Structure 1
Amino acid sequence: MKITTIRATPINLPIEAPYWWSFGWLPGSSRCVVEVETDEGVTGLGEAASWHACAIIERMAPLLIGRDAHDIAGAELVCLPSWRGVTSNVDFAAIRAFAAIETALWDIKGKATGRPLYDLLGGAVRKKIAFADYFGFRQARNGKGGELTPEAVAEYCVGLKERFGTTIFEGKLCTRDPEPSIEALRLMRRQLGPDAIIRIDSNMAYSITEAKRIASRIEELDIRNWEEPCATFEEMAALRRHTAIPFSGHNVDIRKAVALGVPDAIVTDVNVHGGIGRTVRFIGACEAMGIDFWCYSANTGIGSAVYLHLSAAFSHLREPSQSLFRMQPYDVVEEGVFAPIDNLVAVPDGPGLGVTLSKDKLAFCHRLFLEEGPYTQHHDPEEPGRYKRLPLR
């Protein structure tokens, strides 16, 4: 089975109402959808986390046309430079872009053999996967959002519990003044009860001094996990002396994590590692070192399907991945946006990733990209003309 065509399409994937994070108001993400076609009529799907990957994938395509679609290792060898320069000269943009192609090749392998991805990874230990529903301070847009007070945020989460059975929540604690975020957590704990799982994400917003103050005030709220309270593993290690709250982070330097004893979990997507194969190896390393692993959010149904299959295949992925499913009005797959009920999403059991690309939905999201331009995620409208600098305080 030979590769005949590789297409990379930039898209905008908006969320229904922008939410506040440490870099400003986040409106959604601009991503890249990849289609790899073969001479036997099998097409594989992949997704890159940035629209910038499209140009890189187009440069890689001529290197792969005519190659065996099952030779994933060979595809990596012709597309990526050596990984040896881990922190100095590795082309991380190329690694992330290739990951989308690599995912599509796994999808092809599953479709060609008639087996779901989790079977190719060794079989499923579970068929329903838990996800956390996201919350935060949101602007109002088209009748959605508008949770700009702690009371409104808590009410939104209570509504998720009543309508969908949600008991696992993750959201932002990264306001300049942490008081509104802390009050929202207090109200959530009071109204959701002791059994609700609450995780928070600060996106490196705070200095270690401020993080210590926050930790002392939220410790009693039984926070399941605090993602990136500070910018570095070293700062998390210093903060650990002042709180028992577990930490997570996106940095994949597992050697440093083991040496420092933090973070307790590493949270990534497959793009960071260069694809599904290397992500599987990284999960194995995390398991061996006693570090949890889960995936972060904002993907289309293509990337989300990868998370589902990984969680199905590996028992070590015992903590729920993040999800923006409730906040995403659009998707590019026929199956639509995944919708957790009682926190759970069923793993697609079709061949490969088990999702089907919708040409109409892809065209719609591509048109949004062309008309709106790529989304800006790292500017604060309150400080136009400059990038946000961290920590906030």
Structure 2
Amino acid sequence: MLGIKITGLRATPVNIPLEKPMWWTGGYYPGTSKTIIEVETDQGIVGLGEAPSIDVLESIRAMGERLIGADPLDVATCESLCVPPWQIVQNTDDSSVVKAFGAIEIALWDIRGKVAGEPLYRLLGGAVRKEIPFTEYFGYRVGGETEPQEVANYCARMSEEHGSTMFEGKLILGEPELEIDTVKALRETLGRKAMLRLDSNMQYSLPTAFRLFREIEPYNIRNYEDPVATFEEMAELRRHFTIPISTHTPDIRKAVATRGPAYIVTNFAVLGGIARAVRFIGACEAMGIGFWCYSGDAGITTAGYLHMSAAMPWISEPSQSLFRWQIGDVIEGGPFQQKNDVIAVPEGPGLGVSLDREALNHWHNHLVQNGPLDHFYDPAMPGRFRRLPLN
């Protein structure tokens, strides 16, 4: 298809609520708010993208104006129209433009796949796997699990109902002893073979993390994400314990220099899009740093995860998921849900998913009527952010 041009871009903010709010380090987590992107072309092909937040909404719309008339297959030129020189953005400017364009860039790849009539994973070199693993999620939830054995029983039920053997969660109520007790209950209930990963979103001081790791190390923890606030503190933990550590901070150079996190867990839009994510993952492979994708996204970003994980041999660990808890999505048939730990990669052209217009309007209206889903506030003190005691 020759001469295809971008004719418009629509950016729609939506809420993606959870069935029951979860507690996390930052506060009360009722779900997240996303920006859904539709890049329109003069050939009638529409590419779908998704930003992991709504703070970049206006930047995305402004970039859409700049892209009018551009060739959506020429990703490099589209980036040059939207993003200042990369080294300046990363060091001295507002890096939110990277996230804004990264979300649009996903839509450009969706267009590329639709023009070629091929699923995204084939454009990335073909599939090394067709079934992509994801973890189930657990945690302390409002109106749900509030005690260690309740969390363990929930995971056991997911195992019985869905064949789940991989689990990850946040055990964050400001009490390390509660986390220790829950880890013990999980292992005793699920047995030796279940995968257990933990995440505290940098909750703990280094002395408390030492105490926590000493207690949970015998329970075969596959990975602990951001147990402390800095790479240097992570490196100190790794010198004394065998539990691998991951981080949401995508800094390969510092990870290698400090020997802190062994894995980086992030979102493709945050990295600047599909093309830059491919290069980022290649750099991770060269430096021996693992990679997987985080949770809480709608079906468009999730489809991107599926295709990238299909095509990239280095993504060997399961990505996170909140699929079972999400009560809505913007794609037809969404949210994705795993069975026996895996989801099949979509085989349709591009991302292989279709927008559910009725669902998009519904969750946009939810945001308009209720406001964005703020996962930092303290429900006990309206207007204030939650603060856990520093342990």
- Using the size of structure 2 for normalisation, the TM-score is 0.97
- 1:118 equivalent to 2:118? Answer no
Q: What letter corresponds to residue 168 of structure 2 in structure 1?
A: E
- 1:251-330 → structure 2 map (5 Å cutoff): 251-330=249-328
Which amino acid is the alignment partner of residue 15 of structure 2?
Answer: N
1:137 is aligned, of 132, 136, 140, to 140
Give the whole-Å Cα distance in 1 for the aligned partners of 2:213 and 2:156. 24
Moved more, 76-85 or 283-292: 76-85
Deviates more, 1:48-57 or 1:205-214: 48-57
Residues 343-379 of structure 1 show CA distances to partners (whole Å, capped at 9, x for unaligned) of 0100000000000001001001101100110111112
CA–CA separation in structure 2 for the residues paired with 1:35 and 1:126: 29
State the AA in 1 paired with 2:271.
H
Query: Where in structure 2 are the equivalents of 1:170-249 lying within 5 Å?
Result: 170-249=168-247
Change (3 A) 1:390 1:262: farther
Could you list the per-position Cα deviations for residues 115-148 of structure 1 after superposition, in whole angstroms to 9, with x for gaps in the alignment?
Answer: 00000100000000000000000011xxxxx111
Q: What is residue 150 of structure 1 aligned with on the other side?
A: 148
Which structure 2 segments of 5+ residues have no match? none
Shift in Å at residue 83 of structure 1? 1.6
In structure 1, the residue matched to 2:165 is 167
> Is contact 2:174–2:389 with CA below 8 Å preserved after alignment?
no
Alignment equivalent of 1:338, drawn from 333, 336, 339: 336
Aligned counterpart, 1:41: 44
Asked if 1:387 corresponds to 2:390, the answer is no
The answer as to whether partners of 1:207 and 1:391 remain within 8 angstroms in 2 is no
1:5 positional shift: 1.0
What is the aligned counterpart of 1:50 among 49, 53, 64? 53
Cα distance change of structure 1 residues 382 and 392 upon mapping to structure 2, 3 Å threshold:
farther
- Superposition deviation, residue 151 in structure 1: 1.2
Partners of 2:5 and 2:68 within 8 A in 1: yes
2: CA distance, partners of 1:40 / 1:385: 48
Aligned residue number for residue 353 of structure 2: 355
The one-letter amino acid paired with 2:380 is E
1:72 paired residue number: 75
CA distance in 2 between partners of 1:356 and 1:86 (Å): 33
Instruction: Write out per-residue CA displacement over residues 309-352 of structure 1, whole angstroms, 9 at most, x where no aligned residue.
Output: 01000111000000000001111001211110100100000000
Q: 1:117 to 1:87 in 2, by over 3 A?
A: closer
SS of residue matched to 1:319:
coil
Aligned sequence identity (%): 53
Let me know the Cα RMSD of the aligned residues. Answer: 1.2
Mean Cα deviation higher: 11-20 or 85-94: 85-94
After TM superposition, the score normalised by the length of structure 1 is 0.97
Query: CA contact under 8 A between 1:151 and 1:184: conserved in structure 2?
Result: yes
Q: By how many angstroms is 1:61 displaced?
A: 1.3
> Does the Cα contact within 8 Å between 2:27 and 2:387 map onto a contact in 1?
no
Give the equivalent residue in structure 2 for 1:375. Answer: 373
Shift of 1:391: 6.8
1:81 aligned residue: 84
- 8 Å Cα contact 2:233/2:260 also seen in 1: no
1:137-173 residue CA offsets vs partner (Å, 9 max, x unmatched): 0011xxxxx1111111111000000000000000003
* SS of the residue 2:36 aligns to: strand
What is the CA–CA distance in structure 2 between the aligned matches of 1:11 and 1:270, rounded to whole Å?
Answer: 19
C-alpha separation between the residues in 1 aligned to 2:387 and 2:85?
33
Q: Which amino acid aligns with 2:175?
A: D
Distance 1:147 1:288 in 2: 41
Q: How many residues align?
A: 388
Q: CA deviation at 1:241?
A: 2.2
**Which digits, 9 at most, give the CA deviation of each residue in 1:87-118, with x for residues without a partner?**
54232111101111100000000001100000
Secondary structure in structure 1 of the residue aligned to 2:364: helix
For residues 90 and 60 of structure 2, the distance between their equivalents in structure 1, rounded to whole angstroms, comes to: 23
Q: How far 1:227 sits from its partner (Å)?
A: 0.0
**Structure 1: runs of 5 or more not aligned:** 141-145
1:257 shift after superposition: 0.6
SS class of match (2:378): coil
Partners in 2 of 1:225 and 1:175 — Cα distance? 20
Q: For the residues of structure 1 that align with 2:228 and 2:257, how far apart are their CA atoms?
A: 18
Q: Which amino acid letter does the alignment assign opposite residue 106 of structure 1?
A: W
Q: Which runs of 4+ in 1 moved over 4 A?
A: none
Note if contact 2:299-2:335 (Cα within 8 Å) is conserved in structure 1.
yes
Distance 1:167 1:386, change over 3 A: same
Aligned-partner residue type, residue 260 of structure 1: T
